[in-house]
Amino acid sequence: MQRRVVVTGLGVISPVGNDAETFFSSLMAGRSGIRRMQVEFIDKVDAQLAGWVEDFDPLAHFVKNKAATMDRVTQFAVVASQQAIRDAGIDLETEDRERIGVHLGTGMGGAASIEEGYVRLYRDQASRLKPFTVLMAMNNAAGSQVALELGITGPGLTYCTACASSAVAIGEAVRQIRHGYTDVMLAGGSEALLTFGTIKAWEALRTLADEDKNDPSASCKPFSANRSGLVLGEGAGMVVLEDMDRAVARGAHIYAEIIGYGSSSDSTHITQPSVDGQARAITRALTEAGITPDQLDYINAHGTGTKLNDVTESAAIRQVCGTGVPVSSTKSMTGHLMGASGAVEFVACMMAIEQQSLPPTAHLAVPDPECDLDYIPNFGRRDVRVHTVMSNSFAFGGTSGVLIARKV
């Protein structure tokens, strides 16, 4: 018999708050974390807005020498992981750490460290780079440092499936516990790619949003007729997953049980999403969960704000679930956290169950006729039934990751 897996701890670093309570309170208030970046290259980029974490001080969490050996993506991941472990009430000193693992997703890993190395080498003509350049830039640095800082010695894996990375990391971590390989998993994702080179590369793709001249913080408008693209963001989300019997036995607070995970590949186009591909992942998650779409109380959409994505995802949801389930895109407030987005949005789903409240899709004033679902426009809904939730993550390359959880 497969073991049941529950969520007992949450950690988040985001543009709208650096703990789960503040984060969700901001979402419910429709408060946007999209702002003008305070960076030295600001005049060299057209996309000057981002879901930027402006109140994160590494030296509040790490001694100076330790901070200097960690890229920003790793700093986010470690702090979010520490939060999640504390929230779960787990004392690692008394645990069998071989039965605990780390699964972390990221799209670009140590982007800032890679760029700094190139600048020193090619622009400054440096004869040597920092000794830690490779160790800060490698994609598995964040997950490895989480395990190192917490002394976790179970399975440590990094997932890189673009925007679906952290949703896949959580889904695969569930399987580790279900099949008995571990008892506890720390799973999620981190991203910190707001660098000059990365932003210029995204500008070349022509998918970034135009700035809203009346309210820059409202520049990301998922599902709106006047949407113009996505806004890049940064942050981290981590969750503690546990075998349910173990969690109950120790009296842990349980946010929800993860009952379904579905993944698929579009196999159609490297950047253009597929209705059928997304629908397959949603269907697989529902099948594994053993529920029908009418049992869903909320869907946290991928909802990037691009013309094509929002229409495609709306069609995929409609194809499988109909039009009766409330849907929202919290990217309207955080921006698109890329490899971290699935985990951060899953934390939002856990808080939705916890507080029996649904966060809105902000800035949705002009509905798109092709996007005809209940997108919870502009204002969150409080004191509603939130028992079963679904979180969608769809990526460049065609990877989809869908998670379903329910209140225990």
Identify the three-state secondary structure at position 13: strand
Closest-CA residue to 341 (of 13, 7, 4): 13
What is d(CA 131, CA 133) in angstroms, rounded to the nearest whole number? Answer: 6
83 strand-pairing partners: none
Phi, psi of 265 (to 5 degrees): -120, 135
Tens of pLDDT, residues 301-330: 999 999 999 999 999 999 999 999 999 999
Tens of pLDDT, residues 244-295: 999 999 999 999 999 999 999 999 999 999 999 999 999 999 999 999 999 9
Closest-CA residue to 137 (of 189, 90, 230, 74): 74
Tens of pLDDT, residues 152-179: 999 999 999 999 999 999 999 999 999 9
What is d(CA 82, CA 97) in angstroms, rounded to the nearest whole number? Answer: 15
Closest-CA residue to 388 (of 368, 405, 402, 400): 405
Closest-CA residue to 393 (of 264, 297, 289): 264
pLDDT, mean over the chain: 98
CATH superfamily of 260-406: Thiolase/Chalcone synthase (3.40.47.10)
DSSP labels for 244-311?
A: HHHHHHTT----EEEEEEEEEE--S-SSS--HHHHHHHHHHHHHHHT--GGG--EEE------HHHHH
Tens of pLDDT, residues 326-365: 999 999 999 999 999 999 999 999 999 999 999 999 999 9
Tens of pLDDT, residues 95-116: 999 999 999 999 999 999 999 9
Please compute the mean of the pLDDT values over residues 50-68 and round it to a whole number. Answer: 96
Closest-CA residue to 310 (of 366, 249, 263): 366
DSSP labels for 373-399?
A: S---BSS-EES----EEEEEEE-TTSE
Outline where DSSP puts E strands in 106-146.
none
What is d(CA 308, CA 137) in angstroms, rounded to the nearest whole number? Answer: 32
Under CATH, which number does the domain 5-249 receive?
Answer: 3.40.47.10
Tens of pLDDT, residues 113-156: 999 999 999 999 999 999 999 999 999 999 999 999 999 999 99
Identify the three-state secondary structure at position 402: strand
What are the boundaries of each domain within the chain? 5-249, 260-406
Closest-CA residue to 13 (of 83, 105, 68, 63): 83
Asked if residue 1 has pLDDT above 90, the reply is no
Q: Is 194 within 8 Å of 50 (Cβ atoms)? A: yes
Domain 5-249 and domain 260-406, same fold? Reply is yes
Upper half-sphere CA count for residue 58 (Cβ side, 13 Å): 16
**Whole-number pLDDT of residue 322:** 98
What are the catalytic residues?
Answer: 163, 302, 336
Asked if residue 228 has pLDDT above 90, the reply is yes
Report residue 165 as tokens.
């990375």
Identify the three-state secondary structure at position 327: strand
